[in-house]
Amino acid sequence: MIRSVVRGFGAALPKRVMTNREMEDVVDTSDEWIVQRTGIRQRHIASDDETTSSLGERAARAALDKAGLTPSDIDLIICATSTPDNTFPATAVNIQNRLGMHHGFAFDVQAVCTGFVYAVTTADAYIRGGLARRALVIGAETFSRILDWNDRTTCVLFGDGAGAIVIEAAEGEGTTADRGILTAHLRSDGSHKEKLFVDGGPSTTGTVGKLRMEGREVFKYAVGMITDVIQAAFDSTGTTAEDLDWLVPHQANRRIIDGSAKKLHIAPEKVVITVDMHGNTSAASIPLALATAAGDGRIKKGDLVMLEAMGGGFTWGALLLRW
């Protein structure tokens, strides 16, 4: 059978780092309060000349370099983002153009923080269906552009950045020993919209809007939803937490990550944590964490890796792959 195997990975972060101490000069908060409740110590903030597509391009080029490939080798680009350069065209098309790529096809996926899991699952379906052989999957965000910098409950949480992977078709035996994507489980429930949303849009206000969140409500649902899809991934493959080498979660809140891992009996040393360095970068969160852990040698060829996320909508999902 056809499996979608990871060939390369890459990351890009804005030059500016904003620490919690600097946040104290912006809103009524403290480093101690932010760290205790979220685990975040700093985040990267895009400058005026850094956009979602420019960060996505940098991450894409790094992933292609790691894979030993060029844009001419790619058939498909999917960019997961909630902060596109324009209402249209898709940011993926902008990245395609920036890469000098004039063939294949490109489009965006919008599932907020779960966007990268949705995008990788979509690319896998195109590859297994024979519509593409190699795909560049990118998560890129400039969430600083949609934050209310007077709202201390949200502006301290988010940052900007991009991550990318290259996946390609390979032959597998149809077992969990195969390299590549083994299973994916996606969910959504629009009845929770008011708990995490942006209060603007082309067809409603004609403005970009600002991010609004009921933090306690999101936290209340998060652990249960995350553990649901992770358990579904284990059940569908006959694997368990003991078989897992790495959990690479969406980096929203350290307490949510720790609570989910504990509920699933996943050892803390198997969990990749980057929320302290990057904050919540929405769809860029998982590929940034992947690039960090694969880049420093923790994630190695043959490792069993679980990706999971939950985002506005609500959307949530999990994907199990062998690196």
Q: What pLDDT score was predicted for residue 257? A: 97
Cα dihedral 171, 172, 173, 178, rounded to 10, equals 160
At residue 190, the pLDDT reads 98
Q: Which whole number is the average pLDDT over 246-259?
A: 97
**Confidence grade of residue 33 (pLDDT, cut at 50, 70, 90):** very high
Q: How far apart are alpha carbons 104 and 300 in whole angstroms?
A: 30
At residue 137, the pLDDT reads: 99
Q: Which of 141, 138, 146 is nearest to 160 (CA)?
A: 141
**pLDDT single digits (tens) 91-109:** 999 999 999 999 999 999 9
Q: What is the pLDDT of residue 184?
A: 98
Rounded CA separation 61/21 (Å)? 33
Give the ranges where the chain is alpha helix by DSSP (H). Answer: 20-23, 31-38, 52-67, 91-98, 115-128, 215-237, 254-263, 275-278, 285-295
Catalytic positions, please? Answer: 113, 250, 280
Q: Report in angstroms the alpha-carbon separations of 220 from 161, 192, 311.
A: 27, 12, 13
Q: Which two tokens stand for residue 46?
A: 């895009």
pLDDT in the model for residue 294: 98
Task: Walk me through the domains of the chain, giving residue ranges and CATH numbers.
Answer: 1-169 (3.40.47.10), 178-320 (3.40.47.10)
191 CB neighbour count, 10 Å cutoff: 9
User: Which distant-in-sequence residues (6+ apart) come within 8 Å of 163 by Cβ?
Assistant: 9, 10, 11, 12, 59, 116, 138, 139, 140, 284, 285, 286, 287, 288, 289, 290, 291
Digit-coded pLDDT (tens) for 120-158: 999 999 999 999 999 999 999 999 999 999 999 999 999
Average pLDDT over residues 273-282: 98
Cα 90-57-88 angle, rounded to 5 deg: 15
State the pLDDT at residue 155: 98
Residues 217-241: tens digit of each pLDDT:
999 999 999 999 999 999 999 999 9
| Predicted local confidence at residue 236, as pLDDT | 98
How far is the C-alpha of 59 from the C-alpha of 55, rounded, in Å? 6
Distance from the first to the final alpha carbon of the chain: 17
Strands (E), 68-195: 76-80, 105-109, 134-142, 160-171, 180-188
C-alpha 248 chain-centroid distance: 10
Residues with Cβ < 8 Å from 224, sequence gap 6 or more?
none
Q: pLDDT of 199-212, one tens digit each? A: 999 999 999 999 99
- What is the rounded distance in angstroms from the CA atom of residue 127 to the CA atom of residue 75? 10
Instruction: Please report how many Cα atoms fall inside a 13 Å half-sphere around the Cα of residue 217, on the Cβ side.
Output: 14
8 close to 165: Cβ distance less than 8 angstroms: yes
Portion of the chain with pLDDT greater than 70, in percent: 100
Q: Could you read off the pLDDT of 51-78 as tens digits, one per residue?
A: 999 999 999 999 999 999 999 999 999 9
Q: Distance between CA atoms of 252 and 181, rounded to whole angstroms? A: 24
Q: How far apart (Å, rounded) are the C-alpha atoms in residues 82 and 80? A: 7
Phi, psi of 153 (to 5 degrees): -80, -20
